[in-house]
Amino acid sequence: MIGVITKASEQELVREFFELFKTPWEFYRNDRQYDVLLVSAGDAKFQRKGAKLVLIYSGEASIFNDVRESGPVSQCNRACTLYYRTNRLPIYGASVTFGKGANDLLIEEETHEPAIHLRQSEGQVCARIGYDLFSEMRTLLTSGQPVACAGIPTLELHIALLRELILASGLSVTEIPPVPDGYRFIACLTHDVDHPSIRRHKFDHTIAGFLFRAILGSVTKVIRRRMTWRHLLANWVAVFKLPFVHLGIAKDFWYDFDDYTKLETGVPSSYFVIPMRGYAGRKRQGTAPSRRAAGYAACDIAEKLQKLASAKCEIGLHGIDAWMESSKAIQELEHIRRITGKRAIGVRMHWLYFDEHSPSVLDQAGADYDSTAGYNETIGYQAGTCQVYKPLGVSHLLELPLHIMDTAMFFPGHLALSFAEARKRVTEIIANAVRFGGVVTVNWHDRSIAPERLWGEFYLHLLAELKKHGAWFATASDAVKWFRKRRLVTFEDGQEPNELCRKMAEQDGGNLPALCLRVHRGSEGARVATNENRRLHDRDFSAAASLNWS
C-alpha cells in the first residue's frame, strides 16, 4: 500500500494519477503504516517508521530539510528535459538536480547532473526526486505538451519511474494494467466525416483545393517520389470525371466513405459527423474561418449512417460550438441522438477546437466522452498518455486521446511525410502501446481513401501493424467503457489476488474483454504462479534492474 501525502489542492490529481497507475494506495493516515510513502507537500509531517521506501517529489531546492546530505543542489525554474535511462522525460515546471549521493537513473539533459538523490539507512530507502509529480500531471491534463515533445508518452514514463523505484527497493507491485486480458493494447479506429460528397461543393475552396492538389500537387509529389504514377493517373481521371459527377452521370467518388467497412474487414470503427451545414462556428474571440463550415448536415447522410450503425460502427458528434458553450453542445448532441436513437454520444470537435474549459462544458451537456485531445500539426501524445483519462473538474466525461491523424502526417503544411517516414512514426507509437498498454486512437478522414488523397494503402498497412502487434479493436465508445470498468475496481486492505479477481469479474462489462491483474516481484524477480481463474492475468514479470543505493 502506498500512503500519499500531498496538498489539498492536488488531491483530484492524485486520484486521477492512481486511476492511470491502478495500484493500491490511499491518502496518508497517522494511524497506518505503509510500505511506501509518496510525499509531495513540502511542509508535511509524517511518520517514516515502518516504511521501506520514502519517495519525496519536489522541484524546490530547499523545501525538504531531510536531504542535506545531498551536497550542492541546483534549482531550475524553467522547462527542461531529463533522461530516465534512455527515455527523454520533459519537465514543465521547476526542477532541481543534486550532487553527491545522487544516482544516474535520472539525468538533466544539458547539465548532465542527477535529478534524483537516493539514501539508505536502517533498512529504509529515501528517494528525493527533483520535480513535482502532480504539478507535472496538472500541466499534461490541462495545457498539454508542446509539439516538440509530442512523441513522448510523458505521463506513462512518470508511472514507469515510480514503479521502478518501488521494485528496486525489493517491494512487489500489484496493479491492474491498461491492457485488456488476452491483448497487448487497444486500437480505436475513428473517422471524421468532413466532406462526404464532392457533389455538394460547387465553386468553393474545397473544389479549388481538390483541383490544385489533384493536378499540380500530384505532379509535384511524383517528382519528389511521394506519389506513384498510378495514383497520379487516378487523380487526373477523377478531375476529368468531376463535371459528370455534378451532372449526376458519374459516381460521386467521395460518397463511398462507408467503404471503410470493407477495408476494416469487420473491425468496428467510429464516425464523427457534423450536425449542421454551412455554419463555421465561433472562436473564443470572433468567428471561425468560413472554410470550417461543412457542406452537409448529419441528417443529409442519415441513410449512410444507419447503414454503418447496422455494421456495428459507432456514430458520434463532430462538434462545431459544443466545445465552448453547453447549450450549443446540447443542441448538437441532439442532432446525433435523433439519428442514432442513442443517449450516450461521444464527441470530437471539428478542427480540434478545444481549451481547458471544454471538458466541463461537454460534461455539463451530457456528452459521454470526448476524443479531441490531439494535434492538428503532428502525431503523438498531446496529454502525454496512452490511456483514457478523466479531465479535471468533470463528473462523468472521459477523454479518449487522439494519437495518429492522417492529415497531420501527410499535409504539406504539417509533417508532409512520405509513406516510409510515416511508417516509422506510427511504428514508434505502436511500440509505446505494446510497452505501456492503453490505446492507439487513429483518425482517418472520410475522404482520405478517395482522390485526391488516396491514403488507403497506408491505412491498410496501419491496420495490419495494429493487428500484428496484438491489438483489441474497439469503437471509441467501447474503449471508453473498458476504461470505466477498470476505474470501478478499488483495492482494499488484506485483499488476496483471488478476492480481487472475483471483484474484477463482477464489473459489468458486457462483451468487453476482462481486466487482468499484474504482479511485479521486487528485485528478486520471482515467477508469478499460474492461477486457474482466467481473470487473473499472470505472467513472468522480472523486476526492474537494481539500482545502486548510496
What cell was used for 330? 446540447
- The pLDDT value recorded for residue 549 is 44
- The pLDDT value recorded for residue 505 is 64
- The pLDDT value recorded for residue 76 is 84
Q: Is 96 helix (H, G, I), strand (E, B) or coil?
A: strand
Instruction: Spell out the long-range contacts of 217-226 with Cβ–Cβ below 8 A and sequence spacing 24 or more.
Output: 217/412, 217/452, 218/452, 225/418, 226/418, 226/419
Which of 69, 15, 81, 55 lies closest to 167 in space, CA to CA?
A: 55
∠ CA 214-218-220, nearest 5°, is 140
Query: Other CB atoms closer than 10 Å to residue 527's CB: what's the count?
Result: 12
Higher pLDDT, 9 or 100: 9
pLDDT tier, 528 (very low <50, low <70, confident <90, very high otherwise): very low
Query: Do residues 277 and 294 make contact, with C-beta atoms less than 8 angstroms apart?
Result: yes
- The pLDDT value recorded for residue 495 is 66
- The pLDDT value recorded for residue 536 is 37
- The pLDDT value recorded for residue 43 is 64
Query: Other CB atoms closer than 10 Å to residue 229's CB: what's the count?
Result: 9
Give the C-alpha separation, 199 to 42, whole Å.
64
Amino acid at 335: H
pLDDT at 537 over 50: no
Give the C-alpha separation, 480 to 383, whole Å.
16
Give the C-alpha separation, 351 to 290, whole Å.
12
Instruction: Spell out the long-range contacts of 125-128 with Cβ–Cβ below 8 A and sequence spacing 24 or more.
Output: 125/52, 125/53, 125/54, 125/169, 125/549, 126/53, 126/54, 126/56, 126/66, 126/67, 127/53, 127/54, 127/55, 127/56, 127/165, 128/56, 128/58, 128/64, 128/67, 128/70, 128/98
pLDDT at 544 over 60: no
Does the domain formed by 2-159 have CATH 3.10.450.50? no
Concatenate the DSSP letters of all residues of 224-287 into one string.
Answer: TTSS-HHHHHHHHHHHHHHHHHHTTSS--TTTTGGGHHHHTTT---EEEE-SSSS---B-SSSB
Q: At what angle do helices 326-340 and 358-365 cross, to 10 degrees?
A: 50
Q: What are phi and psi of 353, to 5 degrees?
A: -65, 130
What average pLDDT does this structure show over 477-482? 98
Q: At what angle do helices 154-168 and 11-20 cross, to 10 degrees?
A: 80
pLDDT at 550 over 70: no
Higher pLDDT, 113 or 522: 113
Kind of pairing between the strands at 74-76 and 2-5:
unpaired
Domain parsing of the chain, residue ranges: 2-159, 185-197+254-481
What radius of gyration do the chain's Cα atoms show?
25
Give the C-alpha separation, 174 to 23, whole Å.
6
Q: What is the rounded average pLDDT for all residues in the chain?
A: 90
Give the C-alpha separation, 518 to 521, whole Å.
10
Concatenate the DSSP letters of all residues of 160-193 into one string.
Answer: HHHHHHHHHTT--EEE--S--TTSSEEEEEEEEE
Give the C-alpha separation, 477 to 155, whole Å.
23
Superfamily name with CATH number, domain 185-197+254-481: Glycoside hydrolase/deacetylase (3.20.20.370)
- The pLDDT value recorded for residue 46 is 67
Query: Do residues 30 and 47 make contact, with C-beta atoms less than 8 angstroms apart?
Result: yes
What average pLDDT does this structure show over 216-226? 93
Q: Minimum mean pLDDT among 35-44, 157-166, 177-186: which range?
A: 35-44
pLDDT tier, 100 (very low <50, low <70, confident <90, very high otherwise): low
pLDDT digits (tens, 9 = 90+) for 512-523: 999 999 988 886
Give the C-alpha separation, 260 to 430, whole Å.
21
Query: Other CB atoms closer than 10 Å to residue 85's CB: what's the count?
Result: 15
Which residues, 6+ apart, have CB-to-CB distance to 195 below 8 Å? 201, 206, 254, 294, 295, 296, 445, 446, 447
Burial of 232-257, coded b for 16+ CB within 10 Å and e otherwise, reads bebbbebeebbeebbeeeeebbbbbb
- Are domains 2-159 and 185-197+254-481 of this chain identical in fold? no
- The pLDDT value recorded for residue 455 is 97
Say how many Å lie between the first and final Cα of the chain, rounded: 25
Alpha-helix runs per DSSP H in 277-391: 302-310, 326-340, 358-365
pLDDT digits (tens, 9 = 90+) for 114-150: 999 988 887 888 899 999 999 999 999 999 999 999 9
Kind of pairing between the strands at 95-97 and 124-129:
unpaired
pLDDT at 255 over 80: yes
Whole-number Cα distances in Å, 498 to 247, 517, 540: 67, 10, 18
Which 3-state string (H, E, C) describes 26-80? EECCCCCCCCEEEECCCCCCCCCCCCCEEEEECCCCCCCHHHHHHCCCEEECCCE
Query: Do residues 445 and 166 make contact, with C-beta atoms less than 8 angstroms apart?
Result: no
Whole-number Cα distances in Å, 407 to 36, 57, 220, 351, 413: 45, 39, 18, 11, 9
Kind of pairing between the strands at 36-39 and 2-5:
parallel
pLDDT digits (tens, 9 = 90+) for 55-90: 999 998 765 554 555 567 888 889 999 999 999 999
**Count of H helices and E strands in the chain?**
15, 22
Give the C-alpha separation, 425 to 432, whole Å.
11
Give the C-alpha separation, 48 to 117, whole Å.
17
Query: Other CB atoms closer than 10 Å to residue 29's CB: what's the count?
Result: 9
Give the C-alpha separation, 225 to 335, whole Å.
44
DSSP code of residue 529 = P
